[in-house]
Structure formats: structure tokens, C-alpha cells
């Protein structure tokens, strides 16, 4: 209502209202809807302002690094960045034919390898491709040592013999600044890369000797009929002479460095991993592999991730199950005993939290090993023969025992906090109405404690599925988890792409299970207290 309505009789105001067909107005004359929206927006902004520090913190320390890590599972820039010209020319090569790539590929590869070796990037590429094909690592390392000693100086010598001005870098710069650049695209592009390289090194390109590979590209283009007629006398002379030149086969030069370059498989691998985005890591992490024909299963004797994913899920479920069985009675006791005793018990529950994880795991080793405490007691009691001691560690059993013990508090605490809110009078009421102990528990008490079980199970399961150190120490060969392989690829094999793909799959599995849990049990039924 506006100020103008003040002082009117109710009847007049009603009539004025009816006559007023526009939107409802707030006290300051703005439409009520707008004013409300503004107030709400302000409130939201204030709320956002309050959580902003946390939001920024979570974004910077959690979402961005994890996102970056997960992106590595598909990123594959290294091949295209290290061998740009090769990737371009190799795209036309038919991998199905068993023939080696043509001269244009060898030419491009020679230039790429020269720059890669100077920048010491070739070995990095070699170790990347070695994940896909065994032997590529040393292939690149060996070739990198040889590539600047190829016999391509014959082209340099022959061109300089024709015209000494070829030795002068300034003449190259002038030549490739003119129309010759269009007639000699590869040479021009290589010259640009050579200039860039000199800038990186802090050298002046005009003071450096013109490198052999530029003479090689020039020879290659002239020999392939580049149209340089009439551009300059020395180009004309060179073009007329190249047909008679003594030549060097780049293919042979590479084969000399390492004969594996004559293996089409190497080229197939380079071609297959040329794109900047690859599905190769994900294929590997589900025991498949990329081939020119598509994605195929790996040989049986290299399949491992399927087994490990299944085992990780299975063992995490078993651990969660055994935690529920062990924690339920303890939580019940805690919430029903008199305060003083309950507190003492609580300290016992919390005590393991204050002990190092490694110490607890190693303690289980001492307990469970064949010459350990439990076996000694069993032998002493005569339950087990001395030469038939039980194997309880370095296998699945040992892992389950140790992890159940370590994760137990995460189950007990949510259960306890839920159970302590269940009034004991309900049980008494049920019994006084004629229920047996079991019915009273199962129909009255248990349903009220389910939210605690749910919360504990989620906590324990998610912690268990990503557990690393305990399975590593007591897992043996049958008790290791997928996380152990992830750790191996992060810290030993340095195959971070594969580690990222495995991690992504693990994350998706957890999210799917969480979703399923929400559908079946309902996430609203989870209470931490």
C-alpha cells in the first residue's frame, strides 16, 4: 500500500484496491515480488559470504587437485606435444598394412626427435609409451643419443659445395621470409622451430650454424619437386643438382640407432596414442587394451584389475559386516550401562584411536603369525599340532581381522550415539504388553537403531574400500586391495594416468553404491547422533 491510501476509510481503500490493477507494492513503492526477491537474494549472499572461506578452501585443496588428477586419466598431450610433425604426417599412414611409414614420416620424425632430444623430452615420451609397448623406453633413449650424429651432414656438405652462402644463417632467414616459405613449407616450419629453440636457449639464431636437419628438409623438399623456380640463383642451382646428390636413408639411420624402428608395431603404438585425449588408461584399468582394431581384452595372464576391484568390494563388505556384528553389542552396552562404567568402556573404545595405525597393524602381525601369540597358545593347549600351525596372516583372513579391529570405532560411535537416544521405557512397555525379549528387541528396539547401523556402515565401508597401508602390510598376495595398485602406479611406475583411471572407477563405484543405498535404505535414515 502506498502513502496515498492513508487516511481513507476501509470502504474507500477497498475500492481503491479494486481499481488498482498493477502488481502489489511494498511499503517503498517497489513491487512486492521484486522486493521479496531482493531480500532473499541479500540473505543468500550473506549466507554465501559466511561459507565462502570454507568453500574456497574446499575448492582449492580438494576439488581442484582431485579434478586435475582425475583428468589425467584421459589426458595424453605428451605425444602430440613432443612429436608434432610426426603426429601430423603419421595420421595418413595405414596401420593395417604391415608396411613401414613413408619418407615424409621419417623426415618429420627426424626433426621432431632432434628437438625432443635437445630438450631432453624424448626419454619422457619413451617412458610414457613404454606403458603401452615394452621396449619403447630404451628405444627412445638410445635414439636420442644418436640423433644429432646422423649422417645427414652429407646434404650440408653438398649444398655448401654448390654455394658457400648456404652456410650463412642470415641468408636462410632472408630466403624463408620471402615466397620460398610457401614453396618449402616443411623447411619454413622447421626454421621457425629452430628460431624458437634458440630463443629458449638464449642464443641468437643468426650466430648459430645452420643445423644439418634444415639442409635435410631442404633437400627433401627440393627433391620432391618444390616449385622454387626463379626465386634465387642458388635455389635454382640446388634444385638442378639434388637429383645427383649422394643420399642418406633416414630409415636406415634410425634402424642403425635401433633396429626396432623397423617394427611396424612401434609406429602403430605412436599413431594409436597420438590424440590428445585417450581412452587407453580406462581400457587398461578394466583389463582391456587399445588396438588399431578397437578395444580388446588383455591376455589372461595380464588381467589383474577385475580381480582386485571384486576383491576390494567383497572384502570391504565382509569387514563392514563383521564390524556391525561386533559393534552392535558394544554400542548397546555403552548406552545401557550406568554412566561411570559406560565412560570406562568408552575410553577402551577410543584408546585405539590414540595409537598409531602402523603399531596396531604390526601388533596383529605379532598376534597372528605362525610363531605368534595365538598359535603359541593353541599349541600349548594342545588344540593345534606344532607342525601344523594355523596360517592367519598375510592372507585375506589377516587383512579382515586387522581392518575390522582398526575400523571398529567408526561403527561403534554412530551406533552408540543413536542408541543412547532410544528411551529404555519403550522396551519395558513392549514387554509389559506381552512381547518376548526377542520380539521386544527385534520389533521395537532394533528398528530404532537402524539409522546408527546405516551411518556406521557407510563410514566403515567407504574407509575400507580405499584402505591402503593395512592390506599392504598384512595382505600377502590374496589380501591386497585396488588401492595398493593405485599406490604402486603413483609412486613406482609413475603411470599416473592409469592410477587416475583406477581412482576414478573407484570413486564412481562408491557413488553408485551410495546412490543404491539411498534408494534402498534412504539417506534420511542415517543419523550420526
Partner 1 sequence: MKLTKTLLASTALTVAAGAVAAQDMANDMTLVSWGGAYQNSQQKAYVEPYQEMNPDVSIVWDESSAEAVAKLRAMNEAGNITWDLVDVVAADAIRLCDEGLAMEYDPEELLAEGDDGSSAEDDFGDLIVSDCFIPQIVYSTTVGYRTDMVGDTAPTDICALFDTETYPGKRSLEKRPINNMEWALLCDGVAKEDVYDVLETPEGQDQALAKLDTIKDDVIWWSAGADTPQLLADGEIVMGSTYNGRLFSVIEEQDQPVAMLWDAQVFDLDGWIIPAGLSEERLARVKDFVKFATDTQRLADQAAYISYGPARKSSAPLVGEHAELGIDMAPHMPTDPENSKNTFVYNYEFWADYRDDIDAKFQSWLAQ
Under the binding rule (CB under 8 A), the answer on residue 308 touching partner 1 is: yes
Return the SS3 of 290. Answer: strand
Site string for partner 1, 123-162 (x = CB under 8 A): xx-xx--xx--xxxxx--x---------------------
Alpha carbons within 13 angstroms on the beta-carbon side of residue 478 total 9
Per the structure block, which three cell numbers stand in for 433?
504388553
Under the binding rule (CB under 8 A), the answer on residue 307 touching partner 1 is: yes
> What is the closest distance, in whole angstroms, from the C-beta atom of residue 302 to partner 1 in the complex?
5
Under the binding rule (CB under 8 A), the answer on residue 120 touching partner 1 is: yes
> What is the closest distance, in whole angstroms, from the C-beta atom of residue 132 to partner 1 in the complex?
9
Closer to partner 1 by Cβ: residue 221 or 258? 258
Decide: residue 411, CB within 10 A, 0-12 exposed, 13-18 middle, 19+ buried.
Answer: buried
Per the structure block, which three cell numbers stand in for 460?
566403515
Binders of partner 1: how many residues, by CB under 8 A? 40
Which DSSP string corresponds to 62-79? Answer: IIHHHHHHHHTTTB-HHH
Contact positions with partner 1 (CB under 8 A) in 375-394: 394
**Please, which residues have CB within 8 angstroms of residue 423's CB and are 6 or more apart in sequence?**
none
Q: How far apart are CA 96 and CA 82, in angstroms?
A: 24
Backbone region of residue 528 per phi and psi (left: phi > 0; alpha: psi in -120 to 50; beta: other values): alpha
> What is the closest distance, in whole angstroms, from the C-beta atom of residue 464 to partner 1 in the complex?
18
> What is the closest distance, in whole angstroms, from the C-beta atom of residue 443 to partner 1 in the complex?
45
Contact positions with partner 1 (CB under 8 A) in 47-86: none
Secondary structure letter of residue 224 according to DSSP? T
Under the binding rule (CB under 8 A), the answer on residue 356 touching partner 1 is: no
- Phi and psi at 100, nearest 5°, equal -75, 160
> What is the closest distance, in whole angstroms, from the C-beta atom of residue 64 to partner 1 in the complex?
13
Under the binding rule (CB under 8 A), the answer on residue 476 touching partner 1 is: yes
Q: Which stretch binds partner 1 (CB under 8 A): 1-9, 81-89, 337-345, 363-371?
A: 363-371
Residues in the chain: 529
> What is the closest distance, in whole angstroms, from the C-beta atom of residue 468 to partner 1 in the complex?
12
Q: Which stretch binds partner 1 (CB under 8 A): 29-37, 40-48, 305-313, 333-341?
A: 305-313
Contact positions with partner 1 (CB under 8 A) in 483-502: 485, 490-496
Q: How far apart are CA 179 and CA 159, in angstroms?
A: 20
DSSP H helices in 60-168: 64-71, 77-82, 84-90, 103-118, 122-130, 136-146, 153-162
Cβ–Cβ under 8 Å, residues 212 and 156:
yes
The binder of partner 1 chosen from 76, 361, 399, 480 (CB under 8 A): 480
**Please, which residues have CB within 8 angstroms of residue 182's CB and are 6 or more apart in sequence?**
188
Closer to partner 1 by Cβ: residue 136 or 412? 136
Footprint of partner 1 on this chain (CB under 8 A)?
120-121, 123-124, 126-127, 130-131, 134-138, 141, 301-304, 307-308, 311, 369-372, 394, 472-473, 476-478, 480, 485, 490-496
Amino acid at each position: 500500500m502506498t502513502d496515498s491510501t492513508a487516511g481513507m476509510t476501509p470502504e474507500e481503500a477497498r475500492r481503491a484496491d479494486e481499481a488498482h490493477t498493477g502488481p502489489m507494492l511494498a511499503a517503498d513503492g517497489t513491487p512486492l515480488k521484486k522486493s521479496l526477491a531482493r531480500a532473499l537474494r541479500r540473505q543468500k549472499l550473506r549466507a554465501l559470504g559466511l561459507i565462502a572461506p570454507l568453500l574456497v578452501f574446499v575448492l582449492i585443496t580438494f576439488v581442484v587437485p582431485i579434478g586435475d588428477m582425475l583428468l589425467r586419466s584421459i589426458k595424453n598431450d605428451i605425444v602430440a606435444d613432443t612429436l608434432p610433425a610426426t603426429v601430423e604426417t603419421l595420421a595418413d599412414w595405414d596401420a593395417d598394412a604391415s608396411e613401414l611409414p613413408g619418407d615424409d614420416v621419417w623426415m618429420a620424425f627426424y626433426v621432431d626427435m632432434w628437438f625432443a632430444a635437445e630438450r631432453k623430452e624424448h626419454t619422457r615420451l619413451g617412458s610414457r609409451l613404454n606403458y603401452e609397448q615394452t621396449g619403447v623406453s630404451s628405444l627412445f633413449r638410445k635414439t636420442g643419443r644418436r640423433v644429432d650424429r646422423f649422417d645427414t651432414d652429407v646434404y650440408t656438405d653438398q649444398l655448401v659445395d654448390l654455394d658457400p652462402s648456404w652456410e650463412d644463417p642470415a641468408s636462410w632467414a632472408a630466403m624463408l621470409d620471402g615466397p620460398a616459405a610457401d614453396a618449402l613449407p616443411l623447411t619454413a616450419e622447421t626454421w621457425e622451430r629452430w628460431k624458437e629453440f634458440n630463443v629458449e636457449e638464449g642464443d641468437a639464431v643468426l650466430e648459430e650454424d645452420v643445423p644439418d636437419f634444415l639442409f635435410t628438409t631442404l633437400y627433401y623438399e627440393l627433391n620432391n619437386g618444390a616449385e622454387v623456380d626463379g626465386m634465387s640463383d642458388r635455389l635454382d642451382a640446388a634444385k638442378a643438382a639434388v637429383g645427383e646428390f649422394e643420399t642418406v636413408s633416414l630409415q636406415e639411420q634410425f634402424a642403425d640407432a635401433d633396429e626396432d624402428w623397423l617394427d611396424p608395431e612401434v609406429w602403430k603404438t605412436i599413431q594409436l596414442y597420438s590424440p590428445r585425449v585417450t581412452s587407453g588408461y580406462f581400457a587398461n584399468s578394466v583389463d582391456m587394451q587399445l588396438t588399431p582394431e578397437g578395444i580388446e581384452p588383455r591376455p589372461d595372464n595380464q588381467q589383474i584389475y577385475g580381480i582386485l576391484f571384486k576383491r576390494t568390494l567383497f572384502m570391504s563388505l565382509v569387514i563392514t559386516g563383521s564390524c556391525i556384528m561386533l559393534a552392535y553389542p558394544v554400542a548397546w552396552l555403552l548406552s545401557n550401562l550406568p554412566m561411570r562404567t559406560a565412560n570406562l568402556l568408552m575410553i577402551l573404545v577410543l584408546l585405539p584411536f590414540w595409537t598409531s595405525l602402523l603399531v596396531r597393524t604390526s601388533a596383529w602381525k605379532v598376534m597372528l603369525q605362525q610363531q605368534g601369540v595365538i598359535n603359541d597358545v593353541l599349541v600349548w593347549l594342545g588344540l593345534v599340532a606344532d607342525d601344523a600351525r594355523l596360517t592367519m596372516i598375510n592372507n585375506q583372513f589377516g587383512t579382515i581381522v586387522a581392518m575390522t579391529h582398526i575400523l571398529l570405532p567408526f561403527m561403534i560411535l554412530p551406533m552408540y550415539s543413536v542408541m543412547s537416544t532410544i528411551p529404555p521405557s519403550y522396551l519395558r512397555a513392549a514387554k509389559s504388553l506381552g512381547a518376548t525379549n526377542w520380539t521386544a528387541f527385534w520389533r521395537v528396539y532394533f528398528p530404532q537403531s537402524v539409522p546408527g547401523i546405516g551411518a556406521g556402515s557407510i563410514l566403515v565401508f567407504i574407509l575400507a574400500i580405499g584402505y591402503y597401508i593395512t592390506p599392504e602390510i598384512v595382505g600377502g598376495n590374496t589380501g591386497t586391495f585396488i588401492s595398493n595398485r593405485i599406490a604402486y602406479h603413483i609412486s613406482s611406475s609413475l603411470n599416473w594416468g592409469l592410477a587416475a583411471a583406477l581412482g576414478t572407477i573407484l570413486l564412481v563405484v562408491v557413488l553408485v553404491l551410495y546412490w543404491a543405498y539411498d534408494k534402498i535404505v534412504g539417506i534420511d535414515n542415517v543419523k550420526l547422533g
